[in-house]
Structures are given as C-alpha cells and as structure tokens.
C-alpha cells in the first residue's frame, strides 16, 4: 500500500468515526424526551431512532458534495477539489480534511464526556476551519460568503446558532402552554397516554430528518477524499458503498446511544411530562423542516435543546435548570473555536511528520485521545439502566459524580 | 477587502432576518398549532369517553369521538406532509400541495 492509498484509508476510517460520534451525540435530540417520560423504554427508543436514521441516510440521494464550501475554500463550486490542493496526489487536501475530522471527533467526545449536547455539524465545521487556517491561512476560510446568499461561517453557522434555539424555544413554549390550557380538566391518566403517541410520532420525524441531513455530510467528505485521490470522478453521484457505510455508522452510533447527553436533555434541563415531550419534538420537527425548506442551515442539537428549554418555560410552574442551560450555551460557544484549535494543531503535527507519516501520526493521536476519554467516561458510566435517575444527587454507582457538579442551578 | 467583507456580512444578516421570520411563522403553525389540534383531539376523546376521563366526571358524549377523529386526521395530514417533505428533500425534489394531498415533484427552479 503506498502513502496516498494509506492516507485515503485513514481519512475514510476517520470520517466514519466522526459519523459514528455524530450518531450517538444526537440520539438525545430526538429521543431524550420520550425516554424521560417513559413513552418508550430506553433501549427501544435508541433502536427506533437508529432504524430511522438508517432509513433517513438512504433516503438522501441528493449529493452533499459541497458540504465544506459553507465554511472553507478547499473545493470548487461544482464540488471538485481545489486543483492547487491535489497537485501532489491529493495529500494536501487529505491532511486538511483529516485534521478537521480529528478536531471534530475529539470535541464531540469531550462534550459527550461532560454530557453536553453540542452540534456535531459545528464541530465538523470548526475542525475544518482550524485545519484550513493552519494550512491556507485566514483567507482560506469562507467567513461571510459573497453576499448573494446565506453563506460562510457567519451565515451558515453563527447566525443560525444564535437564532434557531430561540425560535425553537418560543414555538415549544407556546405549544406547551396551549396544550396544557386545552387539556385542563381532563384526567392526567387519560392525557399522558394520548400524548405518548404524539411524542413517539414527533420524535420519529426528528430522527428521520436527522438521518437525511447529517449522514450526507460524511458522505460528502468521503467522496471529496475519493475525488482528491483520483478514485472517483463524478460530482453528481456518490459510490454506493460510501452511502452504505455512512448510513451504518450513523445508525450504529445512534443505537449505542449517547446516554450522558440523553440524560442531560431529558432529565437535567427540565423535568419533562409527555405533553411537554410532544410539544418539544413537534417544535423541533417543524423548525428543522421549515428551515431546510427555506435553505436556512441549522443544527438539530440547537433546535432540540431550545425546544426542550421552551417546554419548561411554557408549562405553568415548571422549572428550568438555568445552570444546566448555561453550561450548554458555554459549550456551544466553545464548539467552533475548540474544534478549530484541535484541527489546526493536528494539521501542524501532520504537516511536520510529512505526507507519509503525518496521517499515521495524527490517526494514532486520535486513537490515544479517544481511548483516554472513553476510559474516563467509565468512571461515571451512564447507560440505559440509570439514564432516568433523579437529576439531583446523580445516584450512579460511581465515586465521582461529574455530571452533578454545577448541574443544579 | 474591508468593504466587500462588511457588506457580505450585512447581506448574511439580512438574509437571516428574512428567513427566520418565515421559519418562526411556519413552525408556529406546524409545531405549536398541530400540538394544539392534537390536544383538542385528546380533549374531545375525553369528552366522548366521559366518566373518569374528565375531572368533572360528566357523562360521555359520542360526538366527542367523531370530533376527535377529525382533529387527529388534521394532525395526521401535517405529519404525512412532514414525512413526504423529508423524503422529497432527500431526493433533491420538492413538495407540492397543489392537489390538497401533498406530493413529491421535481424542483421548479
């Protein structure tokens, strides 16, 4: 195996690794509320979400080859790589993409360790921005687009991140308030049963939409690497095996379930009842679908979190744990720069180690850091067995209640 | 460089403001609105069931079930439209509502 092929294999494997973290990081967006209210058993919920993500990934035949164009200039507008980056067999582009992916994965794993729902798309964009700045300089980044449409870091990342949670929270708060007003006087036993159905239905829509949107990003990145290394030359189609492995990776990640994040979303932010769960997921589904219809790029995570927060605001007497919300917001602010720093450092490390050794060294660093974070997570394991335990006190078997620290406002 | 950068920034803000209002309105109708319709359906079901289903323990009224069925149909219409929208956008197509029943068609542009 020569150096170019090895680099390609490493990029593909790392991209699938990112897709996998994307899956388990976002399980909670759709399923946390159904798990918290008991509408679905935890294992059933993640299995349903995994199947819908798988189906969603296969539904997307539209090619998302230009995914990086939103934030960096490494591709041309038709999706083919910038020719100056592939003149040496693609290794320049490979290094940028690989370092960006590693930045995204590390940030996804860290936020998962702390139980913070953060956007996987922002982590990916952040990683790519960092590795692009390191290699091509400040001008390699598409900061604001060209002014003809919503584009660039500002238009596709920052503005949506600020506004979409607010819109979702508003919609969910109004939905929750209406629902509780309307069913006033109906026996609680009677309503909770009905709303569980509504919850499962709306949560399923969110899962399906997630699979269609997010798996495409990894498909686009892998196909870009294949084009850069000369293994693929269509810009209007994706190899079937790429679609298959991406769909499987995101579904497997979803099934694994990011229990730490599910717990924060379902139990930490607001104590959720089934009418709130339905309002939250309906709001998420509506905001995600309306935005994608209007070409407004947003993160499922920000929308889902905003919606859940909104149900806490909309239900009379409900409590929102603002401490938890504050930690999430801090995590969101950090996502782009933090992933960018990791991406930039990884690019520098890979660059120093050369075209052959660079990808290998960067990949080994990724494995070492991931292994370390995984081992840390075992100290305070959160799984299907304790995901719904009371938020106060964090009664896991662990000696180090990490999530509870600062978790209560 | 400064001038085109800031003007593109301004354009981004303008496009965002234009889009976010539409997102908010559509989401209010589809998200909060359909939730309210679903809740009305639940309420009608309880009205139809009567007895323990309501705090008032009033006698059930059969019309409640019919009204509930109609309300749930409205919700179902919204959910099916959402489902078709996901499928259509995944295929690079768009949704048409021109025949009342939402259906997938090739993009107009």
Which structure tokens are listed for A20?
A: 């996998």
- Is 90 exceeded by the pLDDT of residue A246? yes
In this predicted structure, what is the pLDDT of residue A348?
A: 93
Return d(Cα A265, Cα A17) in angstroms, integer: 24
In this predicted structure, what is the pLDDT of residue A280?
A: 94
> A392 or A263: which carries more pLDDT confidence?
A263
Q: What percent of chain A has pLDDT over 70?
A: 95
Return d(Cα A204, Cα A53) in angstroms, integer: 9
Is the backbone of residue B50 left (phi > 0), alpha (psi -120 to 50) or beta?
Answer: left
- Is 70 exceeded by the pLDDT of residue A31? yes
Q: A56 — contact with chain B (CB < 8 Å)? A: yes
Averaged pLDDT score across all residues of chain A = 87
- Is 60 exceeded by the pLDDT of residue A167? yes
Which structure tokens are listed for A182?
A: 């309307």
Return d(Cα A312, Cα A195) in angstroms, integer: 17
- Is 80 exceeded by the pLDDT of residue B95? no
Of chain A residues 259-318, which have a CB less than 8 A from chain B?
Answer: 275, 278-279, 282-287, 289-296
- H/E stretch holding A96: helix A91-113
Buried b or exposed e, range B23-59, using 16+ CB within 10 angstroms: bbebbbebbbbbbbbbbbbbbbbbbbbbeebbeeeee
Most confident of A70-79, A378-387, A394-403, B55-64: A378-387
- Is 80 exceeded by the pLDDT of residue B93? no
Band (pLDDT 50/70/90 cuts) for residue B108 is low
A147–B7 CB contact, under 8 Å: yes
- Is 90 exceeded by the pLDDT of residue A130? yes
Return d(Cα A341, Cα A335) in angstroms, integer: 10
Of chain A residues 108-137, which have a CB less than 8 A from chain B?
Answer: none
Q: What percent of chain A has pLDDT over 90?
A: 49
Q: B91 — contact with chain A (CB < 8 Å)? A: yes
Q: B62 — contact with chain A (CB < 8 Å)? A: no
Return d(Cα A214, Cα A207) in angstroms, integer: 10
Return d(Cα B51, Cα A190) in angstroms, integer: 11
Phi then psi for residue A103, to 5 deg, are: -55, -45
Return d(Cα A41, Cα A385) in angstroms, integer: 10
A41: number of Cβ within 10 Å: 12
What confidence tens digit (pLDDT) does each residue in A259-315 have?
999 999 999 999 899 999 999 999 999 998 888 877 777 889 999 999 999 999 999
**Which range among A145-154, A220-229, A399-408, B22-31 shows the weakest confidence by mean pLDDT?**
A399-408
For residue A68, what is the DSSP state? G
For residue A234, what is the DSSP state? -
What confidence tens digit (pLDDT) does each residue in B71-91 have?
999 999 988 888 888 788 777
What confidence tens digit (pLDDT) does each residue in B23-48 have?
899 999 989 999 999 999 999 988 88
Q: B85 — contact with chain A (CB < 8 Å)? A: yes
Nearest partner of A308 among A183, A408, A165, judged by Cα: A165
> B99 or A346: which carries more pLDDT confidence?
A346
> A170 or A395: which carries more pLDDT confidence?
A170
- Helix, coil or strand: residue A38: coil
Q: B38 — contact with chain A (CB < 8 Å)? A: yes
For chain B, how are helix, strand and coil distributed in percent, rounded to 5? 70, 5, 20
In this predicted structure, what is the pLDDT of residue A54?
A: 92
Q: B89 — contact with chain A (CB < 8 Å)? A: yes
pLDDT mean over A150-175: 87
Residue given tokens 């009608």 in the structure block:
B44
Nearest partner of A249 among A50, A10, A6, judged by Cα: A50
A198–B38 CB contact, under 8 Å: yes
In this predicted structure, what is the pLDDT of residue A250?
A: 93
What confidence tens digit (pLDDT) does each residue in A103-116 have?
999 999 999 999 99
Averaged pLDDT score across all residues of chain B = 82
Q: How close does chain B come to A311, measured CA to CA in Å?
A: 11
Q: Count how many domains chain B has.
A: 1
Burial class from Cβ neighbours inside 10 Å (0-12, 13-18, 19+) for residue B61 reads middle
Q: What percent of chain B has pLDDT over 70?
A: 86
CB A187 within 8 A of CB B41: no
Between B36, B86, B87, which is nearest A178 by CB? B36
A167–B24 CB contact, under 8 Å: yes
Which structure tokens are listed for A154?
A: 């500002």
Chain A residue whose CA is closest to B28: A171
CB A304 within 8 A of CB A269: no
CA B58 to each of CA A53, A180, B65, B100: distance values in angstroms, whole numbers, following the listed order: 45, 20, 15, 38
Band (pLDDT 50/70/90 cuts) for residue B100 is low
CA B94 to each of CA A64, A119, A293, B81: distance values in angstroms, whole numbers, following the listed order: 16, 27, 9, 11
CB A112 within 8 A of CB A18: no
Residue given tokens 């370092």 in the structure block:
A99
The boundaries of the domain holding residue B32 are 2-105
Band (pLDDT 50/70/90 cuts) for residue A354 is confident
In this predicted structure, what is the pLDDT of residue A63?
A: 65
CB A269 within 8 A of CB A308: yes
């Amino acid at each position: 195996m020569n150096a170019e092929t090895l680099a390609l294999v490493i990029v593909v494997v790392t991209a699938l690794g990112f897709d996998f973290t994307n899956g388990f990081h976002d399980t909670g967006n759709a399923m946390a509320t159904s798990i918290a209210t008991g509408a679905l058993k935890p294992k059933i919920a993640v299995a349903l979400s995994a199947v819908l993500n798988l189906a969603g990934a296969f539904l997307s035949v539209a090619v998302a080859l230009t995914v990086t164009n939103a934030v960096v200039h490494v591709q041309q507008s038709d999706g083919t790589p910038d020719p100056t980056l592939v003149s040496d067999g693609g290794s320049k582009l490979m290094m940028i993409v690989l370092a960006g992916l590693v930045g995204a994965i590390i940030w996804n794993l860290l936020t998962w360790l702390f139980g913070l729902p953060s956007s996987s798309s922002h982590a990916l964009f952040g990683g790519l921005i960092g590795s692009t700045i390191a290699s091509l300089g400040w001008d390699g980044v598409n900061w604001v687009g060209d002014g003809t449409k919503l584009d660039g870091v500002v238009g596709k990342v920052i503005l949506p991140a600020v506004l979409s949670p607010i819109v979702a929270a508003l919609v969910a708060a109004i939905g929750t308030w209406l629902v509780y007003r309307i069913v006033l006087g109906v026996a609680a036993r009677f309503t909770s049963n009905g709303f569980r159905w509504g919850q499962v239905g709306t949560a399923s829509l969110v899962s399906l939409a997630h699979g269609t949107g997010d798996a495409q990003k990894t498909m686009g990145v892998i196909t870009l690497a294949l084009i850069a290394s000369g293994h693929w030359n269509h810009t209007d189609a994706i190899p079937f095996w790429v679609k298959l492995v991406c769909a499987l990776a995101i579904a497997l990640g979803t099934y694994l379930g990011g229990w730490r994040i599910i717990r924060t979303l379902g139990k930490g932010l607001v104590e959720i009842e089934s009418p709130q769960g339905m309002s939250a997921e309906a709001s998420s589904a509506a905001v995600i679908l309306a935005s994608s219809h209007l070409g407004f790029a947003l993160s499922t995570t920000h929308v889902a979190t905003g919606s859940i927060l909104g149900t806490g605001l909309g239900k009379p007497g409900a409590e929102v744990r603002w401490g938890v919300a504050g930690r999430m917001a801090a995590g969101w602010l950090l996502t782009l720069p933090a992933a960018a720093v990791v991406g930039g450092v990884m690019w520098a490390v890979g660059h120093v180690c050369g075209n052959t050794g660079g990808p290998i060294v960067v990949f080994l660093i990724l494995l070492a850091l991931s292994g370390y974070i995984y081992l840390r997570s075992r100290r305070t394991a959160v799984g299907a067995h304790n995901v719904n335990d009371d938020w106060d006190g964090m009664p896991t078997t662990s000696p180090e209640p990490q999530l509870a620290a600062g978790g209560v406002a | 460089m400064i001038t085109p950068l800031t003007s593109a920034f301004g354009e981004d803000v303008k496009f965002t403001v234009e889009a976010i209002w539409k997102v908010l309105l559509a989401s209010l109708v589809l998200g909060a609105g359909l939730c309210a319709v679903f809740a009305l359906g639940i309420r009608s079901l309880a009205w139809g069931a009567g007895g323990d289903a309501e705090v008032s323990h009033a006698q059930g009224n059969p019309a409640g079930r019919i009204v509930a069925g109609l309300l749930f149909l409205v919700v179902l219409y919204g959910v099916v439209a959402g489902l078709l929208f996901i499928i259509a956008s995944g295929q690079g197509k768009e949704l048409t509502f021109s025949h009342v029943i939402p259906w997938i068609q090739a993009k107009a542009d």
